[in-house]
Amino acid sequence: MNQNTTIPATAIPLLPEQAAFGHVDHWIFDLDNTLYSHEAQVWPQVNERITLYLLELFGLDGLSSHELRRYYYERYGTTLNGLMSEHGVDPGDFLAFAHDIDLSLLDPNPALGEAIAALPGRKLILTNGSRGHAENVAGKLGILHHFEDIFDIVEAGFLPKPERATYENFLARHAVDPARAAMFEDIDKNLLVPSALGMKTVLIVPRTPDPFRETWEQAVVEASHVDFVTDDLTGFLKPLMRPGATVPVTGIPGE
């Protein structure tokens, strides 16, 4: 399927995933546009803050700043990576500025929390964002306490997904066996390495087109590195829930 294919308005039927995930006891989730839907207006705010950061840093107009953000994202994987590579920007200042957003439209999702809690084994977040941003978002969703830890862009040495070294560092730090892991992501290229490493992969697509993201970022992709596609994460996880099979989790370090 062409990656620029328009997102269908109809729901994507679930496949018989129970057998496919029977061996999985390490559950790895991306954060933005994966654990919440675009209607919460979280990611557009982050993009707007990044554009404003570029505007103030370089004295550009809004349109030029927007195009510069897209350039860095496409060439370096993240705007931050581009700014650090080309201009030596302080990452702490950038992340604090970019993630200073309003989460009032992000509602708690107890059904998702219940589904994650009942997955057998360990649950981790792997994000190109900051730990603080992940804690704020997952906390507002009411699901933060279900995750053992967060591996953010700082722990990745500011090398973003889909770089292979980032996944390898994550696996080593958390002693994750990729053959027993599943990765949930909203961008298909970020599933290439997890699939090559032996993980089960699930692509999360929006139920309705997101006007604030590129078409290719939200397309339904049929490819060997994408095992499953869903527009309903909670619904997808429910058949995988095995009550009583979870391991104790002490919570995010530093809480």
Residue 157, both tokens: 């040495």
Q: Work out the percent of the chain whose per-residue pLDDT is above 90.
A: 74
Residue 13, C-beta contacts closer than 8 angstroms, at least 6 positions apart: none
Cβ(142)–Cβ(117) below 8 Å: no
pLDDT for 215 equals 75
Q: For residue 185, give the nearest of 170, 196, 165, 200 by alpha carbon.
A: 200
pLDDT per position as a tens digit, 142-168: 999 999 999 999 999 999 999 999 999
Q: How far apart are CA 136 and CA 158, in angstroms?
A: 20
Q: For residue 168, give the nearest of 140, 196, 142, 188 by alpha carbon.
A: 196
pTM, rounded to two decimals: 0.86
pLDDT per position as a tens digit, 98-143: 999 999 999 999 999 999 999 999 999 999 999 999 999 999 999 9
